A and B are shown apart, each in its own frame.
Chain A
Amino acid sequence: MSETQTVKEPTPPAKESQGSQVIREIMAGNAVISVLAVVVALVIGGILIAVTDPRVTAAAGYFFADPAATLSAIWSSVSEAYGALWRGATYDPTARTWQGQLGIFETLTFATPLILSGLAVTLAFRAGLFNIGAQGQIILGATFAGAVGFGMHLPPAIHLPAVILAGAIGGAIWGGIAGFLKARTGAHEVIVTIMLNYIAISLVLYLLKNQLKDPNSTNPISPQMDGNAVFPLLLGPNFRVHAGLIVAILAVIGVAWLLNRSTLGFEYRAIGANPKAARTAGMLVSRGYITVMLISGALAGLAGVAQIAGTEKSLDSEIAGSIGFDAITVALLGRSKPWGTFFAALLFGAFKAGGTSMAVNADVSIDIVAVVQSLIVLFIAAPPLIRSIFRIKAARREGASA
């Protein structure tokens, strides 16, 4: 912001604090659509929960005799499930231990890799590239980070930074391959990144049978991370939330600056919006594709670091879980904006934390979370659909340029 203050003339459009921009993004006309999309998705999820609940189906058997019984069964079924979801994600006064009550910190723990990998997808998306490969980049990041983390023993001040760097490099290599092939041969990044995801899994399975295998285990799993190589826990041993969250928040700030303020981000956005005009204006589009995929891959690699050095502590083939795919939905829900991605990741982290509690306390499979998440994204991607459901008039011109 220091540049703006050196200018004395009134320049209204450029004066805007980072905070107000976040608010504007959240408060923009589309925010209504986003909220409604979440609501509709939760309603559909609720319907699914209700119709598969034996109590509801039992009550529905005598629906005409006693409709109230059915409705109350539906209510208790859905409210129990979503209640457990909400409490698990935020605060649960009924939990037996005080640590268990504070689900909000589980939410932050789950959100950490989602923020980082969501940023990876967001950044590439703004440069016009669809990075479906966060999954593979996370795996590579975790593998590189692990190789440094359990393969070496370094002093505390050096080891963790080395792990972080290694993870970023691992992800960057995997993302960079897609960027390089896109730039040099025109290979479609969607196809290449999908394929690289599966190659990454095979690669890590191979390594876990050979070079990276824990000699004391019969399973394909690596040794534990060195004590110096893991993220310190932020709130002591009772909570899993770790310093990776700080890395993630710094990454949000960094990507926000990169996209909105830096010349590099200007280039990326120009390339994303109109690569031909970018080329004519002297930007090197192919270099842009390569570097943006390197950075994007590095961000996903950091998500891998958050996994291995934050929560998992050792490498196995499931290290990435479904984070790489959730990252895509997170970025879409966040409308490909850094802070939007941040909040979307928090929401999805809450779903994950709450989903576990829901599975335990309300006997509703955590798979419903995937259903709700995907519905949210579908509805958000199709504003006309949400508008027609709620009969909202299109506030702005829709597709007028087509």
Chain B
Amino acid sequence: MKLELRGITKSFGALVANDHIDLVVESGEIHSLLGENGAGKSTLMNVLYGLHEPTAGEILIDDKPVKFSGPADAMAAGIGMVHQHFMLVPVFTVAENVALGGESTGFAGILDLEATRRKIREISSRFGFHVDPDALVEELPVGVQQRVEIIKALVRNARILILDEPTAVLTPRETDELMDIMGQLKAGGTSIVFISHKLREVKAISDTITVIRRGKVVGSADPSAATTELASMMVGRAVNLTLDKADATPGDETFKVTNLTVMNDAGQRLLDDVTFSVSDGEILAVAGVQGNGQTELTEAVLGLQKHVMGSIMLDGKELVGRSVRQVLDAGVGFVPEDRQDDGLVGEFSIAENLVLDLYTKEPYSRFGSMNRAVIARNAEEKVAEFDVRTQSAQDAADTLSGGNQQKVVLARELARPLKLFIAAQPTRGVDVGSIEFLHKRIVAERDAGTPVVIVSTELDEVLELGDRIAVLFAGRLMGIVPGKSSRELLGLMMAGLPADEARAQLDAPAAGTAGQSEGELP
């Protein structure tokens, strides 16, 4: 089945998310849509899937124009989609989720799930999915949930499958399995639209690559194109992939984490016996696939986690058991991984957000009364210093772009004299121009002698910033390696191999590792 998009434009008010996009997906090809976060890839696919109505333009399937007024139409036309955030009802079983919307029924609408179970088992065995139709979705690992999503599309006879950032939540190993599945689907004649901003994956799997920037198609590329070339197409200029930073000059080890364990309410160990330390003037980058304990690690330091065992020492003072306020007062600067959820109050002004954790301190307030003039002046200074692009510091924070919001958070957290700086996903969803700026500020804080912990799921960022790199897997520390370690080594560790074993594996004669490594960066 051939799919063609002609001149698709989608605007939300003044914002043009897609601007005259043309795209052709040939039958049985894997077509990658490459672009930064916020480039308009997901919007485009939501238009294709009938979730958004296009402002202009048309969709053609096998050269015939079609109109989708909802996902039902798109599905009927043979389009299936695996969303970035899974569209599964957690309290339903796999079979119920797969059946939903296309249920087989008996007399009087009584559900007949047996037919669905049969289909699930059939597809599951064809692709080696190992999915139990009667398992509750909320109890399945994310990788399996993703397969349920794929089954959902296949049960509906999807001939074109859209995968929206499918690897964001997967381990490298699960990613490889997904790539295998994509290959099988392609062999069976299914076209695949693969949306990603990860160059390595895109190069490894695609037949064709279309690059999108700021809502526009900026060109197509061959999978054999150089990584740097793709990167510069994606971001719009030649990108210097390495940051100019001097070698660290570590001082005393003032931040020490010992045998740290974090549990959730159900008693699962989300962080398991982690020990490490960071010196003054050094950046420790914590790598790992999303959901392997990084969030719990940073939140435990800040005092946001409930069930914490072990010790976190900063400058000789124990942080475990203290309130967030006490931890902040002890000199910890914290950039949370989700700035909109945790870092900012969207409807507050930029000025108010800049004192969100300083408002009890003089001169911002005195005797419980806020000093608006000082707060406003502070905002003017910070907006200028951090180059926050806004009309006024009194505008609501949610009117800012992602990069500018992150600058506000960083400006606030760096405003105090710090003894430790923690930033989780400091550049997620941030435009390239801001990334450089944010990275420079982080390095500047290190050079001022502060121990810095960066958590990132982006290997590029980890390699760029880290003086040393720690890798977390399933809540355990796989080891700490030097900042200049190879991607292969880090990849193995992220897949669950301790550093020693991973090194041994790499040192062994490279048998059978071909095929996967061709997409690696040099």
Q: Which residues of A contact B (CB under 8 A)?
A: 3-4, 7, 9, 11, 13-15, 257, 261-264, 266-267, 269-270, 273-274, 276-284, 397, 400-401
Interchain CB contact (< 8 A) of A14 among B324, B325, B346, B376: B376
Count B interface residues, CB 8 Å.
42
What 10 pairs between A and B have smallest CB-CB spacing?
A: A14-B372, A282-B325, A281-B357, A7-B373, A281-B356, A282-B324, A280-B342, A274-B345, A11-B373, A13-B394
Interchain CB contact (< 8 A) of A397 among B13, B351, B368, B371: B13
Contacts of A273 in B (CB 8 A): 345-348
A14 vs B328: C-alpha distance when bound (angstroms): 27
Contacts of B421 in A (CB 8 A): none
Contacts of A3 in B (CB 8 A): 366, 369, 371-374
> Does B235 sit at the interface, judged by CB under 8 A?
no
Interchain CB contact (< 8 A) of B372 among A4, A257, A264, A270: A4
Contacts of A4 in B (CB 8 A): 372-373
* Contact in complex: A266, B359 (CB < 8 Å): yes
Contacts of B107 in A (CB 8 A): none
Task: Using A13-B394, A273-B345, A280-B343 as known contacts, say yes or no to A263 and B368 having CB atoms under 8 A apart.
Answer: yes
Contacts of B348 in A (CB 8 A): 269-270, 273
Smallest Cβ-Cβ distance to B394: which chain A residue? A13
Name the residue among A9, A11, A263, A400 with the largest chain B CB count within 10 angstroms.
A263
> Does B63 sit at the interface, judged by CB under 8 A?
no
18 residue pairs from A and B, CB less than 8 Å apart: A4-B373, A7-B373, A9-B377, A13-B393, A14-B372, A14-B376, A262-B368, A263-B368, A270-B345, A270-B348, A273-B345, A276-B341, A277-B343, A280-B324, A282-B323, A282-B324, A282-B328, A284-B323
- Closest chain-A Cβ to B108's Cβ sits at a distance in Å of 35
Contacts of B370 in A (CB 8 A): 261-263, 266
- Closest chain-B Cβ to A20's Cβ sits at a distance in Å of 14
- Closest chain-A Cβ to B322's Cβ sits at a distance in Å of 11
Smallest Cβ-Cβ distance to B12: which chain A residue? A400
- Closest chain-B Cβ to A2's Cβ sits at a distance in Å of 10
Contacts of B329 in A (CB 8 A): 282
A3 vs B371: C-alpha distance when bound (angstroms): 6
* Contact in complex: A279, B324 (CB < 8 Å): yes
* Contact in complex: A266, B342 (CB < 8 Å): no
> Does B360 sit at the interface, judged by CB under 8 A?
yes
Contacts of B281 in A (CB 8 A): none
A280 vs B346: C-alpha distance when bound (angstroms): 14
Known: A267-B359, A280-B342. 14 other contacts (CB 8 A): A3-B371, A7-B373, A257-B369, A262-B368, A263-B369, A266-B370, A269-B345, A273-B348, A274-B347, A277-B343, A277-B344, A277-B345, A278-B345, A282-B324
Contacts of A262 in B (CB 8 A): 368-370
A277 vs B304: C-alpha distance when bound (angstroms): 11
Task: Using A11-B376, A11-B377, A266-B352 as known contacts, say yes or no to A280 and B369 having CB atoms under 8 A apart.
Answer: no
* Contact in complex: B334, A280 (CB < 8 Å): yes
- Closest chain-A Cβ to B335's Cβ sits at a distance in Å of 10
Contacts of A15 in B (CB 8 A): 373
Name the residue among A11, A269, A280, A283 with the largest chain B CB count within 10 angstroms.
A280
Contacts of B346 in A (CB 8 A): 273-274, 401
Could you tell me which residues of chain B, from 357 to 385, have a CB within 8 Å of some CB in chain A?
Answer: 357, 359-360, 365-366, 368-377
Smallest Cβ-Cβ distance to A258: which chain B residue? B368
Task: Using A263-B365, A273-B346, A274-B344 as known contacts, say yes or no to A284 and B325 having CB atoms under 8 A apart.
Answer: yes
- Closest chain-B Cβ to A278's Cβ sits at a distance in Å of 7
A273 vs B302: C-alpha distance when bound (angstroms): 21
A279 vs B325: C-alpha distance when bound (angstroms): 9
> Does B398 sit at the interface, judged by CB under 8 A?
yes
* Contact in complex: B357, A263 (CB < 8 Å): no
- Closest chain-B Cβ to A168's Cβ sits at a distance in Å of 20
Contacts of B356 in A (CB 8 A): 270, 277-278, 281
> Does B392 sit at the interface, judged by CB under 8 A?
yes
Smallest Cβ-Cβ distance to A15: which chain B residue? B373
Contacts of B288 in A (CB 8 A): none
Contacts of A281 in B (CB 8 A): 324, 328, 356-357
- Closest chain-B Cβ to A396's Cβ sits at a distance in Å of 11
Smallest Cβ-Cβ distance to A280: which chain B residue? B342
Contacts of B371 in A (CB 8 A): 3
